[in-house]
Amino acid sequence: MKIGIIGNGLMGSAIGYRLLERGFQIYLYNRTKERSNALVKKGAIRMDRPSMIGKECNFVIISVTDGQAVKEILFGDNGLVNCDNKLLTVVDTSTVLPEDSIYCASLMKKKGYAIIQAPIMGGPDATKKGDVITIVSGNKKISEKCRKILTNFSKKIFYVGNQDGVANYIKLGLNLNIALIAISLSESLVFIKKSKTDPSIFLEILNSTYFKTGLSEIKGPKMIKNNFEPKFFLKNMLKDIQLLNECAKHNGASLSFSSLAEQYYQMAANRGYSELDYTAILKLFNEFNNLPPSHQIK
Ligand SMILES: NC(=O)c1ccc[n+]([C@@H]2O[C@H](COP(=O)([O-])OP(=O)(O)OC[C@H]3O[C@@H](n4cnc5c(N)ncnc54)[C@H](OP(=O)(O)O)[C@@H]3O)[C@@H](O)[C@H]2O)c1
């Protein structure tokens, strides 16, 4: 079966690897052509425009940064809606504003195309292992049809209702949780380092308690070694907190820590950490405290 993947960044590429491995024929489009080179070498076919992907494939996954990018992919001059393939179903896995998803879904429906939202919890490594959680909203029948594809890289799929955009609210709420856990772990590590105590012992103990998190277990050991190889860019975490705060303004939620988190991730971005993993928020807290980047216990 042919599947199109539009957006071949960290996540789109990981989805591509997984689906190639599972025997699907993969068609790719990425704005910056070179970024899909690795997948092309593995056997995926590159196309020059989103509309060409829509002509070739009845099932297309989008994984791009934000709502503006999704709108360009769908409705731009060379966008998917120009594919003239009424069998096309689009699955948007990007983390975007719910409002943008609602807009895209309603315009797609008007133009006679099917689309659902399917934001993902879990990074590229988990995607390659088929180990992510996917949250789906939109038309129930279409969602059921898409489940057969999503199940190839998701260990669990939550269908959260036929109202477009609902999955996006849940995804933003989940990401705020991660952003705050990264800050909380960073402050604990600063405290431990300032106390001239070994952060690796601290982490080992934390990770043997009920209060461990996926972040403390998987990212913690890398954080204390100053390893911020990007799996989820800090700039994208900042984008997600900005989206959440924008939503909160509209729905009347007063979220003091998410406002603070936005400021801290913005400061980290201003210091040039955008292209690092979001856990590089620790670098910022280290700097506030005149601590060297990685732990050195004398
Ligand atoms: N990484 C994760 O752990 C993770 C997990 C769950 C969800 N997500 C979400 O999944 C989406 C993709 O994330 P990622 O980590 O793959 O990010 P990424 O590596 O930064 O890739 C972003 C992708 O979006 C494309 N893009 C951005 N603006 C565009 C535009 N105006 N027109 C066309 N394409 C555009 C980029 O194309 P270029 O290469 O040309 O810039 C690239 O393919 C984001 O919404 C992110 O929040 C990420």
- In this predicted structure, the answer to whether residue 293 has a pLDDT above a threshold of 90 is no
Give the pLDDT confidence of 200-214 residue by residue, as tens digits. 999 999 999 999 999
Q: Are 35 and 9 in contact (CB under 8 A)?
A: yes
User: For 226-242, what is the mean pLDDT?
Assistant: 98
User: For 266-288, what is the mean pLDDT?
Assistant: 98
- In this predicted structure, the answer to whether residue 297 has a pLDDT above a threshold of 70 is no
- In this predicted structure, the answer to whether residue 12 has a pLDDT above a threshold of 50 is yes
Topology at the third CATH level for domain 168-288: N-(1-d-carboxylethyl)-l-norvaline Dehydrogenase; domain 2 (1.10.1040)
What is the rounded distance in angstroms from the CA atom of residue 106 to the CA atom of residue 21?
34
Note the pLDDT of residue 239. 98
Note the pLDDT of residue 163. 98
- Sheet of 25-29, strands arranged across: 45-46, 25-29, 2-6, 59-62, 89-92, 114-117
- In this predicted structure, the answer to whether residue 226 has a pLDDT above a threshold of 50 is yes
Q: Which residue has the higher pLDDT, 57 or 293?
A: 57
- Give the residue from 127, 172, 123, 173 showing the smallest Cα distance to 150: 127
Query: Where does the pLDDT of residue 292 fall: very low under 50, low under 70, confident under 90, or very high at 90 and above?
Result: confident
User: CA torsion sign, 123 to 127 to 130 to 135?
Assistant: positive
Ligand 1 centroid, distance to 120 Cα (angstroms):
12
Ligand 1 closest atom vs CA 76: 32
Please calculate the CA angle 57-26-274 and round it to the nearest 5 degrees: 110
Please calculate the CA angle 39-42-43 and round it to the nearest 5 degrees: 95
- In this predicted structure, the answer to whether residue 296 has a pLDDT above a threshold of 80 is no
Ligand 1 centroid, distance to 233 Cα (angstroms):
9
Burial of 76 (0-12, 13-18, 19+ CB in 10 A): middle
Give the pLDDT confidence of 159-215 residue by residue, as tens digits. 999 999 999 999 999 999 999 999 999 999 999 999 999 999 999 999 999 999 999
Ligand 1 centroid, distance to 65 Cα (angstroms):
4
Q: Which residue out of 75, 236, 265, 277 has the highest number of ligand 1 atoms within 8 Å of its CB and is therefore the one to mutate?
A: 236
For the chain, where do the domains classified as CATH 1.10.1040.10 start and end? 168-288
Q: Which residue has the higher pLDDT, 275 or 298?
A: 275
Query: Where does the pLDDT of residue 298 fall: very low under 50, low under 70, confident under 90, or very high at 90 and above?
Result: very low
Note the pLDDT of residue 274. 98
Give the pLDDT confidence of 243-252 residue by residue, as tens digits. 999 999 999 9
Q: What mean pLDDT value characterizes the chain?
A: 97
- In this predicted structure, the answer to whether residue 19 has a pLDDT above a threshold of 90 is yes
Q: Whose Cα sits closest to atom 24 in ligand 1? A: 64
Query: Where does the pLDDT of residue 295 fall: very low under 50, low under 70, confident under 90, or very high at 90 and above?
Result: low
Find the helix or strand (DSSP H, E) in which 158 lies: strand 154-159
Q: Which residues line ligand 1 (CB under 6 A)?
A: 7-12, 30-32, 35, 63-65, 68-69, 72-73, 94-95, 120, 123-124, 231-233, 236, 240
Output the six-digit token pair for 73.
Answer: 């992919």
Cβ neighbours of 205 (radius 10 Å): 11
Find the helix or strand (DSSP H, E) in which 69 lies: helix 67-75
Q: 2-164 maps to which CATH number?
A: 3.40.50.720
For the chain, where do the domains classified as CATH 3.40.50.720 start and end? 2-164
